[in-house]
């Protein structure tokens, strides 16, 4: 390949099989290659050609200067973080209880060691149309709070109530006043809530 970062491509080959009749795909944002920066085995790499396969939770790469149809699964325990179009993904510290079940998570907000995280999943669904098997992918997201070293579900008011028990009244008011944002733009909603609660600003 003639590159200094040959060690990137020592992982297993990924063989892509997409249904031609499918209207969805298993990747983050788009099915085409996109440029990403990432840290691999302690070394930063910039502008690499990648795809983030959400269904498999795998970061796939092809040589930067000689892109081919060859896709390599980057060795997961060596990928520390990556950024695609402004979305920064990390792997949680394995010493945090329950961290391994999440794989790659997007960091939406941070305050010291406290993090507001977003987990993407794509469920594979097979259906048969005439003689053809069609594979579709259903998107879901979950919000997670790493607060004082503990991972907590953060999808609902009930979740936040159980974490911030002394703030139930404030949380009720916040959810009521921002119910449209909660339905239409959950990222912004939870970022605002995180910054108000975790940074100890009064609601």
Per the model's pLDDT, the better-predicted residue between 19 and 128 turns out to be 128
pLDDT grade for 18, boundaries at 50, 70 and 90:
low
Whether 142 and 167 map to the same domain: the answer is no
Q: Is residue 14 part of a domain?
A: yes
Whether 171 and 145 map to the same domain: the answer is no
pLDDT at 203 over 60: no
Distances (CA, A) of 146 to 64, 88, 98, 120: 34, 16, 11, 16
Whether 111 and 52 map to the same domain: the answer is yes
Whether 97 and 195 map to the same domain: the answer is no
Q: Is residue 110 part of a domain?
A: yes
- The residue segments making up the domain with residue 193 are 156-203
Whether 77 and 163 map to the same domain: the answer is no
Q: Is residue 151 part of a domain?
A: yes
Total domains present in the chain:
2
Which pair of tokens denotes residue 187? Answer: 């990222």
pLDDT tens-place string over residues 51-61: 999 999 999 99
Range from 24-28, 101-105, 123-127, 150-154 carrying the lowest mean pLDDT: 123-127
Whether 144 and 95 map to the same domain: the answer is yes
Whether 182 and 149 map to the same domain: the answer is no
pLDDT at 109 over 50: yes
Q: What is the mean pLDDT of residues 68-82?
A: 86
Whether 145 and 165 map to the same domain: the answer is no
For all residues of the chain together, what is the average pLDDT? 87
The confidence score (pLDDT) of residue 68 equals: 59
Whether 135 and 181 map to the same domain: the answer is no
Q: Is residue 1 part of a domain?
A: no
Per the model's pLDDT, the better-predicted residue between 54 and 201 turns out to be 54
The span from the CA of 168 to the CA of 155, in Å, is: 15
pLDDT tens-place string over residues 126-166: 887 777 788 889 999 999 999 999 999 999 999 999 999 99
Q: Is residue 32 part of a domain?
A: yes
Give the residue from 123, 122, 128, 121 showing the smallest Cα distance to 102.
121
What share of the chain in percent tops pLDDT 70? Answer: 89
Other Cβ atoms less than 10 A from the Cβ of 172: the count is: 13
The span from the CA of 164 to the CA of 167, in Å, is: 5
Distances (CA, A) of 65 to 3, 15, 61, 170: 8, 21, 12, 53
Q: Is residue 66 part of a domain?
A: yes
The SS3 call for residue 20 is coil
Q: Is residue 22 part of a domain?
A: yes
Distances (CA, A) of 126 to 28, 52, 136, 137: 20, 21, 6, 9
Which pair of tokens denotes residue 46? Answer: 């910039």
Long-range contact pairs involving 166-172 (C-beta distance under 8 Å, separation at least 24)? 167/197, 167/203, 170/202, 170/203, 171/203
The confidence score (pLDDT) of residue 21 equals: 63
pLDDT at 69 over 60: yes
Q: What is the mean pLDDT of residues 192-203?
A: 75
Report the predicted TM-score, pTM, of the whole model to 2 decimal places. 0.88
pLDDT at 169 over 80: yes
Whether 131 and 174 map to the same domain: the answer is no
Residues 19-43, buried b or exposed e (16+ Cβ, 10 A)?
A: beeeebbbbbeeeebbebebebeee
Contact 24, 54 (CB under 8 A): no
Contact 122, 18 (CB under 8 A): no
The confidence score (pLDDT) of residue 201 equals: 41
């Amino acid at each position: 390949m003639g590159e200094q970062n040959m060690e990137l491509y020592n992982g297993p080959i990924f063989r892509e099989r997409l249904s031609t009749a499918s209207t969805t795909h298993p990747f983050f944002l788009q099915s085409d290659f996109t440029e990403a920066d990432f840290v691999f085995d302690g070394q930063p790499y910039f502008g690499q050609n990648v795809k983030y396969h959400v269904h498999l939770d795998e970061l796939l790469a092809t040589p930067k200067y000689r892109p081919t149809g060859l896709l390599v699964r980057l060795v997961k325990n060596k990928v520390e973080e990556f950024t695609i179009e402004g979305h920064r993904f990390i792997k949680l510290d394995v010493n945090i209880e329950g961290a391994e079940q999440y794989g790659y998570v997007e960091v939406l907000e941070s305050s010291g060691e406290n993090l507001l995280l977003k987990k993407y999943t794509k469920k594979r669904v097979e259906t048969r149309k005439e003689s053809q098997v069609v594979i579709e992918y259903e998107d879901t997201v979950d919000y997670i709070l790493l607060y004082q070293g503990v991972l907590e579900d953060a999808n609902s008011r009930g979740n936040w109530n159980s974490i911030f028990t002394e703030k139930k009244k404030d949380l009720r008011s916040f959810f009521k006043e921002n119910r449209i944002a909660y339905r239409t733009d959950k990222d912004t909603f939870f970022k605002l809530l995180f910054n108000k609660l975790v940074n100890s600003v009064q609601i």
